[in-house]
Amino acid sequence: MIDRTIYDIFRQGSRTYFYSTLFFPPPVREDVFSLYSFVRTADDYVDAVPQQVEEFYAFTDRYAAAAAGEATGDVVVDSFVELAGRKGFDPAWTEAFLGSMERDITVGSYQTIGDLEAYLYGSSEVVGLMMARVLDLAPESYVAARNLGRAMQYVNFIRDIAEDLALGRTYFPRDEMEAFGLEDLSEASVSRDPGGFAAFVRFQLGRYREWQEQAEAGFWHIPRRYRIPIRTASDMYRWTARTIERDPAVVHRRKVKPSVVRIVSGAASNTLKA
């Protein structure tokens, strides 16, 4: 039985992941809820306005205590640690994740894609690895799992350009922005050079697609009964990318997200194809 706190965190945190996850068998669904509630809670602390820095470090302390065998009373932390132990997560994955979340407190921009890679590994690739363990996939699936994690994260970066700017962050390499003649990614910058901004965003979408295709090439590792929700989430991120590619300036007008109807109908379609 899923704890109500964990359920609410997931439902409020991600429309795509929440409704896609409902198509997993119940035991897997509960594990995904536990995983997502942990990563979402940490992310929410560093994304709050103002940032909840003390709360974030208290959260990491509770994680360390729980990992050492202490029952903390924090259902999010305790459920995640139980899951991590049962499914054999490498503790270094969680450390990398929390390290990337901490960077959101101290780092506002990245000069090159190489500089960004460590953040991407901790913020998204290790979550893909954790999902692979939740699904009991073979180690041969791990490259695809990492690629899917960072591909989805990268679409979120593109979709959330305006939101991240308001938080004082830019996740795209500054050297690439400069190559497209952009001082920054603000709405004012878009107004000065809409063509340059559009070209830059489409270039970034090309990087996403490369990672996405590498991820989907490994979907055959996923058992049929688990492939439906994974494929559905993947399809929704493709839809988001296509929507933004048609009109890159949309990221400054609204948050591009698929509707519940689109997600559920996509899952139904994938069920028929499976």
Q: How confident is the model over 63-73, as pLDDT tens digits? A: 999 999 999 99
Tokens 């350009």 belong to residue = 161
Give pLDDT, residue 271. 87
Domain tally, the chain? 1
Q: Tell me how far apart the alpha carbons of residues 41 and 85 are, in angstroms, rounded to a whole number.
A: 19
98: tokens are 């929390």
Q: Where are the alpha helices (DSSP H) in the chain?
A: 4-13, 15-21, 26-47, 53-67, 75-87, 91-106, 113-120, 126-134, 142-159, 161-166, 174-179, 187-192, 194-216, 224-246, 260-273
Q: Tell me how far apart the alpha carbons of residues 204 and 185 are, in angstroms, rounded to a whole number.
A: 13
Q: Extract the residue ranges of the chain whose pLDDT is less than 50.
A: none
Residue 233, domain extent: 4-247+256-273
Nearest to 34 by CA among 91, 62, 92, 74: 74
Give pLDDT, residue 274. 62
Give pLDDT, residue 1. 67
Give pLDDT, residue 3. 86
pTM score of the predicted model = 0.95
CATH number of domain containing 199: 1.10.600.10
3 state DSSP class of 240: helix
Give pLDDT, residue 273. 75
